[in-house]
Every structure is written in structure tokens, then in C-alpha cells.
Amino acid sequence: MATVGPATWSEKNLRRLLKAGVDVVRINLSHGTSEEHRRSVKRIRAIAEDLERPVAVMLDLMGPRFRLGEIEGEVKLKRGGSISLGAPASGADLPLDDASFLSHMRPGERLMIADGRIELEIQSKRGKLARAKVVFGGSVSSRKGINLPDTNIPFTISNKDRRDLDLAHELGADWLAASYVGRAHDLDALRRAMGRGGGDVLPLIAKLERARAVEHLEEIVAAADAVMVARGDLGVELPLDRVPVLQKRIIDASRRQGKAVIVATQMLESMIEQPRPTRAESSDVANAVFDGADALMLSGETAIGQHPITAVKTMDAIIRRAEEYVRERETLPGAPAPVPFEPLKPLPIEREEADEAIDRRELDVPGAVAAAAVEAGRHLEAKQIVALSQGGFTARLIARYRPQSPLTVFTIEPRTARRIQLLWGVRPLVLESTVRRHDEVVRLIDERLRSMKLAHSGDLIVLLMGDPIPERPLTNLIRAYRIRDE
């Protein structure tokens, strides 16, 4: 994933980004204008069509953002000193762009400024002013960001976010990222806002960036369509020694529940200015692969960096090398066990019992078929696992098992093809024609795989689909199939 910005808005650089390996483009709605975002999405769609590649567009909502107001010059904060905060008209030493959050703060709670470099502790409040002690000092200037790691700020959807939800519908965004999520019901509120007036409810990525979100990790993962390990804000709100372990826990929780997980922030940060990353950054990218992330995201490196294309190529190369090692490691004796997934309920022996369990949603048939396909692919050494997926659900179920065989997913929906680019190891392909019979599907898949050199005569593949096709059932069929002779 790559964030676009001033360094990559041009058609030339967008094309170079996609050709370098970007599958999902992030547009940060905290910056830029609606018209700029419209131009960017239009260019991305046109270039992706020209390259004949499904490319997803993810819009990242700004959410609540707390900042200092306008400051003339700089204010120097001395450790141990005391300072006042409030609205610009209050005469405070540090004016706040929006002082409403002060009403939720209590004495003893921390206020972090400029990515945590400055730390204040609230001592008292009076009217629209608060006094705070300087725990860690330094110089601050206008518009610096503020984090409130100890304060329970209610989740709200600002007027800007509501306008941006309308923009997301207008532009046909594939994914929507939500900031400041603390509980599962925050995502429910966003879905209600999206659905007002009968609008489409876009799939939501919950950005895990608050200390409070960590306390409710499992419920947020369950409610989200995907999650993002937003390490920048996590590293401000929580002690830095917790962030690496939290990254692993978030990835594990997401894989158990079959949700895509993105690792983001400062992955190749030095490449904003330098043409090569540090050794530590290279290891960081590789370790995110080893942890099992679905996607890795570049932010400032491609939005404002001096070497955006090189950054993408560098990340692509590190990912490929790391995944080669993962495949080698999986074949060695004593290889680590895969992440345990939520157990499937045992299949009832009697057919009548099984049918009743399916009707009651007590039996995860698509999950069982996906797991069986991955195991069949491994034992048969299949050249491909191939799935038909209308909305992406089957693709997600298979991808969470990280199959050894390449995974190709056919769909008749272009938007589905774009959305599943976020999933681990998925190659999405669009079937241009609507098919109604099992044999038609198999013939089309056979021809398409051979024409794209993804499979050759005699190759064994594992096929998954829902049958009968016209009824659009959940995935219920698995088949071992050998590619025909030319």
C-alpha cells in the first residue's frame, strides 16, 4: 500500500507507483482538497484500467484531530514549569485549535504534543482554561498534533467526516479507514452514517492507534472488515516497548478471525530523504512479513518523500525476499505451527443433522471448504488454488490460512477484484462474462490460466466455488482439476 500526496499526484508518478508494485492506494483525507482527491482517484482508475490491473483506493478519514492553535514564533516549555491551555480567545499560554476536549480531561491525565516529544500533565481546570505541569519540555510551534492517551474521548463523526463519507460514495472508494476507534460500536456508528439515505456501506478498516482500542482488541477486530496497526499514534499513547508485541497480537487476532491486517507507519521513514533505507527499517519490513501481515503501508515515503518510486521498489524487494524465506522455513523439519484459528464445529454424522446445523448457522461450511482446499493444495502440491468469489468472502477465508500454493480468485465484480487486493497472496482476475453452469466456469478458468501463463497443460489445481451457480450459494464445492492439453 502507498499513500499519495504532492510527491506522487502527477499522472507520471502514479503510473510509476502502480508499475512498481502498489496494489492499494491510500488517500489521506486529513490533507488536500476534495477536488484534488477527485483528480487523484480519476487518474488512479484510468491508469489501473490501462495497465489491466485491479487497484484498490482506500480513503482515510481524518477523524478527531486535536492540535495547537496559531502561535507566534515558538513557545519554550521548561521541565517542571506550569502552563495554561485553552481556546485562542482565552488568553492561554498555549492556544488550542479546538478546546472542547478539555471538558473530558481530569487532573493527572497526560497531554502529548508533537508525537510525544512534549508531555504535559493536567493539574486543574477552571472554566475554559486548564493548567498543566511540563513533564518533558521543549519548543512547540503552531498546529502541532496532540494525543490524549489517558482521556476517554467519546467517538464522534465530525462534519468534515460526514462530507468525506459523501465523497467516498461519490468516488466509489473500495475501502474506508476509520481513525480514533475505541470500541466496536464506533464502527457501527460509522456504518449508520454511511447508510443514511440508502447509501452503500463501504468496508471499514479500523485503525488501532489508541490505548483504549488495545483494551477492546478482539471486539474491534470482530466488528471491522480489516484492521491497521497504526504504530505512530500507538507509540505515543503507549510505552514504546509495548508496540512490537502489540503488533504481533493484533496480527494474530486478525488472522484468527480471518480479517486482513495492515502494518503501517515509519516502515521506511528514512527514505523520505534518503535513497536507501536503514538496516533496521529493512528488518522491520521483513519482520512484519514474518508476523503474517496481509499488507504493508508506506506513508510519508510516497506522499511527500524525495524517492517515492524507489521506496516502493525497495519495500517490494524486501517483501519478496522475506516471503521466500517463509516458504523455505515452512518445509523444514520442526517448522513453527501456524496461527491457530477459531475451531470449526465438528460435522454431524447424519445428513439431516448437518442440514439443520447449516440452517442455524452453527456449521461453518465455507470455512471448512476453505481449510480443506488449503490442505488439499498442500498434499497434492497443486500449482494453484483457484476460487470463485462474488463478494470476496471466500478469498478472505482462504487467504487467512496462508496457503503454500498461489491463490487466484475469479470474480465477475470489478469492485470485488479491487477490494481483495488487500488480502495476503491473492491474485484477483475478473471474469467478463456471466456464467451459469459448472462446466462453463471450469472451461473459462482453464483458458484464462493458460493464456496468462499461470498454469500449463497437465498442471493440477484445486477449485472452489458455490454450486449451483445461478443460486449464488456460499462456497460449498471443492474439486481437484488438471489443466487440459493445448
Q: Which residues are catalytic?
A: 26, 67, 207, 265
Helix (H) or strand (E) holding 326: helix 308-330
Residue 324's alpha-carbon distances to 260, 263, 286, 376, 426, in angstroms, are 21, 19, 11, 21, 16
Classified as helix, coil or strand, 445 is helix
Q: What beta strand segments (E) does 150-275 contain?
A: 175-178, 204-208, 226-230, 260-264
Residues with Cβ within 8 Å of 267's Cβ and at least 6 positions away in sequence, in order, are 281, 284, 285, 288, 296, 297, 298, 301, 315
Residues with Cβ within 8 Å of 298's Cβ and at least 6 positions away in sequence, in order, are 1, 2, 3, 267, 268, 311, 312, 315
CA gap 58, 2 in Å, rounded = 10
Helix (H) or strand (E) holding 419: helix 414-419
The owner of cell 470500541 is: 183
Within 13 Å of residue 254, how many CA atoms lie on the same side as its CB?
32
Q: 395-430: b or e for each residue (b if 16 or more CB lie within 10 Å)?
A: bbbbbbbbbbbbbbbbbebebbbbbbbbbbbbbbbb
CA gap 111, 210 in Å, rounded = 13
- The DSSP secondary structure of 252-317, one letter per residue, reads HHHHHTT-EEEEESSSSGGGGT-SS--HHHHHHHHHHHHHT-SEE-BSHHHHT-S-HHHHHHHHHH
CA gap 28, 25 in Å, rounded = 10
CA gap 60, 204 in Å, rounded = 10
- Which triple of cell numbers denotes residue 458? 497437465
